[in-house]
Structure 1
Amino acid sequence: MRLCVFTEPQLGATYEDQLAIAQRVEQLGFEGFFRSDHYVTTLGEGMPGPTDSWVTLGALARETSTIRLGTLVTSATFRYPGPLAIAVAQVDAMSGGRVEIGLGAGWYEREHTAYGIPFPPVGERFDRLAEQLEILTGLWSTPAGSTYSFEGRYYDIVDSPALPKPVQQPGPPVIIGGKGPKRTPRLAARYGDEFNVPFSSLADTDAQYQRVVEAIEREGRDGRAPIVFSCTQTIVCGSTEAEVRRRAESVGLDPNGPRERGGQLYGTPERIAEQLLDFVKAGASRAFLQVLDMRDLEHLELIAAEVAPLLP
């Protein structure tokens, strides 16, 4: 199982904080550094304030050399699809082809109203997401020297030169994730290179994977590679039970362990590995480990040294 570190900088992290953890993630041998894409904190004061995800990833692309970089997930409401395609392709070039993009419909109304971003009803947000996915993948895969056009309900593209081209072809991997039982699996089947289930129990994760498998059987993949399945889980790991409790309490989590609904990997390295192996059996080949204290680099060192070697 491939392990990536996932962070929530809107909770309170400067660019320097993110640079420090990204470089340590690379040194420790994790596969990737991924971050959320939010403009308002979802917990606490969030000082000193948000950092833009793609501006940050562009900078990190020049300060790292091997790790994958990306978002979980960029909201389709934040950017027009054409400029987003340009930004992601540019960061892909700046990284030498190490970028991935998670794209979702958006859900946090407060950050939209706080910064003047329209927040349409959920049905429209999903419609816009579908058009954005079509446009992003269409622009990136259009041959150089050709043009790309698209006519949709919300976006029209007319004779775009479809430049710049990303290093990765036909484009950076697209991650689609979520718990929705209908439209989300269909979008993953059609556009996704990877499907991610965030903060869910093993049973709910497995059920969502099966919905995507069924959607692929209906939709087909048009010769594309099989979809990758992954999970996102908050991690609280300690070499002893006392250390586990300390780390949980320091980030405001229940020190007695994960809630029944799932979403947390909790315990000593051996216990964490056991939990991850259950997700491997369900079909996951990559895990995004959400660390809530971005300054606790010893946490990452413990995971790399004592959890990773126990995984296939």
Structure 2
Amino acid sequence: MEFCIFVEPQEGLTWEQLATIARETERLGFDGFFRSDHYIAPDRALRGAPAISDAWTTLAGLAVATERVRLGTLVTPVTFRHPGALAVQVANVDAMSGGRVELGFGAGWNAPEHAAYGIPFPGKRFGLLTEALEVMTGLWATAPGETFSFEGEHLRLDRALGVQRPVQDAIPLIIGGGGATRTPALTARFATEYNTGWEPDAVIAERFARVVAACEAADRDPETLGLSVALTATIGATPADADARARAIGLDPARQRTHGLHGTPAQVADRIADLAGLGAGRVYLQLLDPTDLEQLELLVEATQAAG
């Protein structure tokens, strides 16, 4: 199983803080470092440093500030950047990192954030999301010297040059969500990995089953699709320490026991083992206070115990 640290810089992280936790993530042996793609929190509150950051700008910096960990977003909304430009940005960061980039991609949801920065937020975005995936995968697959054109309801590309190729044979694409039909179908068509999270095991198992069925319906081997879970980690050396960490970031310890990774390293390891039993091959450990680096050491203990 792979373990990735996942942070939310829109809560108020400076570049120096972001780089510090990314380097610690690498030093301690985690497999990846992922960040959200938001400019502000839904309530527009800034709980940490007064620093608003752009996901792909900072990932470019982390590409040269780290050497081994995978880097990516959970998740980039289709509304923030034109897919043609995003395809170039992601390929650039892939080159800068030596082929370590992954793209979590979704329809977007935070309407107040869009309004704050004047970013259009269409009411119906799934069609745009589908076309964006067609555009990006098409551009990445276009050979140097050749061109890529696309004509859709939302997007039009006219003979785009296929010169910006990723280092990897294909950029890993992560699609997630709880949709019952369209999301599993889109996942089966485009994704390298399906992600869900912040739910009890029964819900996670149901969602995994839906994407597996969608792969089978699309004549795709389900074994070619990775399954992952993102969960907020509130870990402590003792149960009381874990409860205190949960309360410090505004979470209910009782809910965290079923909807997150909560408790001592041994208790967190047990939950991870349960997720592995459901089919999860990767867990994103969400840290809502990433300046608390002691959590990383405890999470290393938990992940090692989980095997």
Deviations 1:230-263 (A, max 9, x none): 0000011111122112211221222x43258x43
CA distance in 2, matches of 1:224, 1:79: 31
Distance 1:163 1:231 in 2: 35
What does the per-residue CA deviation read over 1:187-244, in whole Å, with 9 as the maximum and x for residues that have no partner?
10000000000212111111111111111111233x8970000000001111112211
Any gaps of 5 or more consecutive residues in structure 2? none
Counterpart in the other structure of 1:307: 302
Whole-angstrom CA distance in 2 between matches of 1:162 and 1:144: 5
Percent of aligned pairs with the same amino acid? 47
Q: Which position in structure 2 is the counterpart of 1:274? A: 270
Q: Which residue of structure 2 aligns with residue 56 of structure 1?
A: 58
- Matched position secondary structure for 2:302: helix
Counterpart pick for 1:226 among 214, 224, 227: 224
- Could you say which residue in structure 1 is the equivalent of 2:72? 70
How many angstroms apart in 2 are the aligned matches of 1:259 and 1:294? 18
The answer to whether 1:149 aligns with 2:142 is no
Could you list the per-position Cα deviations for residues 35-78 of structure 1 after superposition, in whole angstroms to 9, with x for gaps in the alignment? 00011113532441420000000001010000000000000000
The amino acid that maps onto 1:307 is A
8 Å Cα contact 1:11-1:42 kept in structure 2: no
Q: Is the 8 A contact 2:230 2:283 kept in 1?
A: yes
SS in 2 for 1:257: helix
What SS does the aligned partner of 2:23 have?
helix
* Change in CA separation of 1:153 and 1:225 when aligned onto 2, cut-off 3 Å: farther
TM-score by length of 2: 0.96
* Aligned partner of residue 131 in structure 2, secondary structure: helix
* Residues 145, 163 of structure 2: 8 Å contact kept: no
1:129 aligns with 2:129: yes
Tell me the residue number matched to 2:234: 236
Deviation at 1:287, TM superposition (A): 0.2
- How far apart are the structure 1 equivalents of 2:282 and 2:114? 31
1:293 counterpart residue number: 289
Secondary structure at the aligned position of 1:258 is classed as: helix
> 2:149 & 2:223 partners in 1: Cα distance?
25
Instruction: State whether residues 194 and 230 of structure 1, in contact with CA within 8 Å, keep that contact through their aligned partners in structure 2.
Output: yes
> What SS does the corresponding residue of 2:196 show, helix, strand or coil?
strand
The one-letter code sitting in structure 1 at the alignment partner of 2:57 is V
Contact between 2:215 and 2:222, CA under 8 Å: does it hold in 1? no
Question: What displacement does 1:117 show?
Answer: 0.7
Aligned residues of 2:178 and 2:207 also touching (Cα < 8 A): yes
Cα drift, residue 163 of structure 1: 2.6
Superposed displacement of residue 150, structure 1: 1.2
Distance 1:263 1:12 in 2: 24
Alpha-carbon shift at residue 159 of structure 1 (Å): 1.3
Q: What CA deviation, in whole Å up to 9, does each residue of 1:121-140 have, x standing for no partner?
A: 1xx31110000011111110
Question: Equivalences for 1:70-219 in 2 at 5 Å?
Answer: 70-121=72-123, 124-169=124-169, 171-219=170-218
CA shift digits 1:160-196 (9 cap, x unpaired): 1123111011x21000011111111011000000000
1:284 aligned partner: 280
Q: Which residue of 1 aligns with 2:246?
A: 248
Give distance in 1, aligned partners of 2:205 and 2:163: 39
Contact kept? 1:14, 1:48, Cα under 8 Å: yes
Q: Which structure 1 residue ranges, 4+ long, deviate > 3 Å from structure 2?
A: none
Distance 2:203 2:273 in 1: 16
- AA in 2 matched with 1:303: L
TM-score normalised by length of structure 1:
0.94
RMSD: 1.5
- CA distance in 2 between counterparts of 1:225 and 1:165 reads 27
How many residues are treated as equivalent by the alignment? 305
Structure 2 residue 28 is the aligned partner of structure 1 residue 28: yes
Gaps of at least 5 residues in structure 1 are: none
1-structure distance, mates of 2:149, 2:210: 32
* Preserved CA contact (<8 Å) 1:40 1:110: no
Please tell me whether the aligned partners of residues 228 and 284 of structure 1 are also in contact (alpha carbons under 8 angstroms): yes
**2:233 counterpart SS class:** strand
